[in-house]
Structure formats: structure tokens, C-alpha cells
Structure 1
Amino acid sequence: MSTAEQMEDLNGVRALITGGTSGLGLAMAAGLAEAGARVAITGRSADRVAEVASTIGNDAIGIAMDSRDETSVEAGATRAWDALGGIDLLVNNAGIGMRTVNPDFMTTPQGFWEVAPAAFRDMVETNLTGYFLVARAVVPRMLDARSGRVVTISMNHSTMNRRGFVPYGPSRAGAEALARIMAADLADTPVRANILLPGGATATGMLDGTARPGGLAVLSPDVMRPPIRWLASKEAADVHDERIVATEFADWLAARRA
């Protein structure tokens, strides 16, 4: 087992993972719970989020929350904070992919002028505004508690600029810019903020049923487990404004420890 794959001891850590019913969110939630953390996951469907939470273990909590809606976010954040007795780690992950706009986006790119305005707005509301609303609801509580960590889930820069990737690319580029500004705003506070991304196309619902040119290889969502566990650990207490690529995490961590 490599250094990066060693299990962290996260007993006592309380984590909120948005979009935790599948894909990257579920993998991270399960990885954190496996290491001893108490986790709350969110999703739009109350039945679905409760069902998935029951499979995670360690008394995971499912919270119905629509990250696009300010009232829903505030209620969800309050419920998570009260149920966990505080939040040490917020993982902003909830999002939707290009398949919702163009099911054939991998093989038949669509010009930006062909994207319906409503589809553009919905993706930006989910992938960017949602990150803002959730962080806005949770971070002030962390500041009052004088402790907390925020991890923003992002994607490769090439994805943000890829042909046919409107509105997904702009929404993810905006989310990464938001994460950098949040880190700058939090630099002189006890709350730490970082970015985490898989490092390649990942086998999630965003790719389900999508043709992949040239047999495109995809990563398992489990690639996110070691870095998110480390970011929740005591060793990462002072890590701030880093952009960590999961596929490169072992080398990154080894260099950091050298």
C-alpha cells in the first residue's frame, strides 16, 4: 500500500458532501465514513438520498437539498450542522454534466449557439451558483466555530475549454475561479479552502449511455478516496489554496512530505 493509500483516522470528523448519492460524491462519502468520519450527503430526492445514506455506514445522514435554491440550501445546511453537531469539512460536489444538454456530446459536439438558454442557466445554477450558495451557508458557521475546511470539486482545465462543452466548461471554470477567490477571502481566517479534481474522465452518471470515441478510458470514482481522506486529516490542517489532482496525488503528497 502506497503512502497516499494509507487509511487516515478520521474519527470525530464531521463532513457534508453535496451531490453524494452517486459518482464522485458517493465515493468520497463512503471513503470518509470508512475512515471513521460522520458524513451527511445531499441530493434532490428525499427517498434517494435516504436510501443511499443507509448504505454508506457509520450513521451517515441523507438530506434532501436543491443546491440551486437558497431556501433549500439554508435549511439543508442547518439540518446537517445540527445533526452532526457541526461541520468540519464541506465538499462542494453537486453538479450535472453535458449529457443533460447533449446526450451525444462526446461524438457529436454541439455549437454554443445551439444550446437552449434554459439549459445553460440550469447548468450554471447547479454547477456554479450551487457551490456559492452552499459555501455561503456553511462557511460563516465555520468562521464562528473558528475551524473548518472547504473542498471544491473541479475538473481538468482542458474540459473547461473543450469544443462543444457549453455550458459545462464555463460552469466548471466559474466554479474553480470561485474556489480560488474563496481561498483568498479566507486566507487570514481559521477556515482552509482547496480544490480537488479526478484528473480525467470518470465513470459517473455524467457519462452513462454516452458513446466514447476511441474507447476512451475512464477513471473509477474511487480515485477520489485517498485525497479527500487526507484533506480531512490532521496532517492537512494548514493546507490552503492547493489544486490537487487525484491521479497525481501520491506523487504530490510524497513531494510535499520530502
Structure 2
Amino acid sequence: MGVSVFSLKGKLALITGGGTGIGLGIAKTMIEAGAKVVITGRRETVLQEAVDTLGKNAHYRVNDITEKETLPAMVEDIENSIGPIDILVNNAGTHHKATAQETSDKDFERILQTNVMSVFALTRECARYMLQRKKGSVIMIGSMAGLFGIDKIVAYGTSKTALTGLVNALVTEYSKSNVRVNAIAPGWITSNMFLNAIANDPQRKQQITNRIAMDHFGQTEDIGHAAVFLSSEAAKYITGVVLPVDGGATVNF
């Protein structure tokens, strides 16, 4: 047992939205744990810079997950040219800040397309290979907004709640083939998306700070370490969980 049970040596992880923020933090910690990673995103310059920082065990593919018709070919390309995908981290997502009354059908659909439907489509494509090999780990990056209500993000909160339902449904089908499906629910993590969300809104920042039981925001590597654990042999009997990494925000009033 010992440290090796937490190792990802010899494993390949596909991380969507891996060029920045939480995705980059996950890529970094997985490489430190011995994995190779493939990061995806829409902007090649961002991905190239990330790979240059991450080193020789990092690769990238330019991809927009909302273009679902491109996903089968991308997964096949990675499987054939880099190696079998052992770990899928569904990290890419988008945000929309508006009250419910100001959220249009188009806005709502756009968030669900990216945060739920694209996640399912990519998971299904990766699972084609994982189920045949009878091993694999799928991780959804959820949110505190999927565990309790937060105002002004009705579409985002609904999409992240839907991921819990997706986890539950996939567990019932994938578990017999030893493909595990879990979610991480990050709290307030220092990333561009979060910092942009609270910029120019000191009242909201104070509200968030009051909610966290610990005395600081999280770091992207905090999510990365949780993802490493859930993908490792240390978690081989863990499937169907939603793991909050939130400094106690879910239980603190």
C-alpha cells in the first residue's frame, strides 16, 4: 500500500477546459501524481502556453465541446495517437449571471448545452473504450451551486444540479464494468471565472466570505488533489459520490 496507491503512474487523463483555472490546476496535480494529460479548449495559444508550463507529459487538442459532432473523432485520435484514456475530467463549463427573470430561454439553453449535454456526449464517447477495457474513472466538476441555491445564476445552478443526476444514472450502468463516476463540487476557488464573477460586487464577495467556514478561498490545486484521489487506486471502491471541496461552505451558515 503506502504512497503508491495514490499514484497515477501509467495513466492518461483527458481534461476539458484544461488550459486555465481549475482545469489547469487539475492537469498540474495529475502530472505530479505520475499521469500523462491531454488538455482541451478552444484557444490554441492558451493550450500551448499551458503545455509549455506543464512539461513533456502534457498534450493538447483544440476542441469546442459544444460542437458535439467533433467529439467521437477527437477521442479516437487521442486513443490512437497518445494512448488509452483512463481518466476523463469534465471540467469545461460556462457561466451566466442574471436573475431568473432576466434569463432568456436562449441563455438557459446555452448553459445546459455546454455544462450538461456536452458533458454527457463526451462521457459517452470515452466510455465506449473504458467499458471495453473494464476500467476507467470519470469525474464531473460540479459546483456548490448544485448543492444549495444561489441567486442570479439560475441556469448555471440548474446545470450543476443536473450533473448529480447524470452521475447517479451512469453509476447504475457503468459500475459492473469497473468504470467509476464521481463528481467534485468546488467551493469558491481563486480562478479567473470566480474573480470575474465577484469583481465590482463587494456585497456578493462579503456574502461568500461569510459563508465559508475556513478563512480563505480555495486554490485550483485543492480541486486537483481531490481529482487525483478519486482517479487513483485509493478510491477503487468509490463511485457515485459528490465530493465538496469548499472549506466547509456547504455546512456553514
TM-score class normalised by the smaller sequence:
0.7 to 0.9
CA contact (8 A) 2:14 2:37 kept: yes
Identical columns (%): 26
CA contact (8 A) 2:143 2:185 kept: yes
**Which residue pairs with 1:223 in the alignment?**
222
Q: Secondary structure at the match of 2:157?
A: helix
**Which residue pairs with 2:21 in the alignment?**
23
CA contact (8 A) 1:28 1:224 kept: yes
Structure 2: where are the runs of 5+ without partners? 210-216, 249-253
CA contact (8 A) 2:37 2:59 kept: yes
| TM-score, scaled relative to structure 1 | 0.82
Segment of structure 1 superposing worse, 176-185 or 200-209: 200-209
CA contact (8 A) 2:190 2:219 kept: yes
User: C-alpha distance in 2, partners of 1:225/1:120?
Assistant: 29
Deviation at 1:138, TM superposition (A): 0.4
- Tell me whether 1:135 sits opposite 2:128 in the alignment: no
User: C-alpha distance in 2, partners of 1:141/1:23?
Assistant: 28
- What code does the residue aligned with 2:103 have? V
| TM-score, scaled relative to structure 2 | 0.84
User: C-alpha distance in 2, partners of 1:185/1:212?
Assistant: 45
CA contact (8 A) 2:131 2:174 kept: no
**Which residue pairs with 1:205 in the alignment?**
192
User: C-alpha distance in 1, partners of 2:173/2:240?
Assistant: 11
Segment of structure 1 superposing worse, 86-95 or 186-195: 186-195
- What code does the residue aligned with 1:24 have? I
Q: Secondary structure at the match of 1:91?
A: strand
Q: Secondary structure at the match of 2:154?
A: coil
- Tell me whether 1:112 sits opposite 2:100 in the alignment: yes
Query: Which structure has more helix as a fraction of its residues?
Result: 2
Deviation at 1:7, TM superposition (A): 9.7
Corresponding residue pairs, total? 235
Structure 1: where are the runs of 5+ without partners? 103-109, 250-258
Please tell me the root mean square deviation across aligned C-alpha atoms, in Å. Answer: 2.4
Deviation at 1:146, TM superposition (A): 1.6
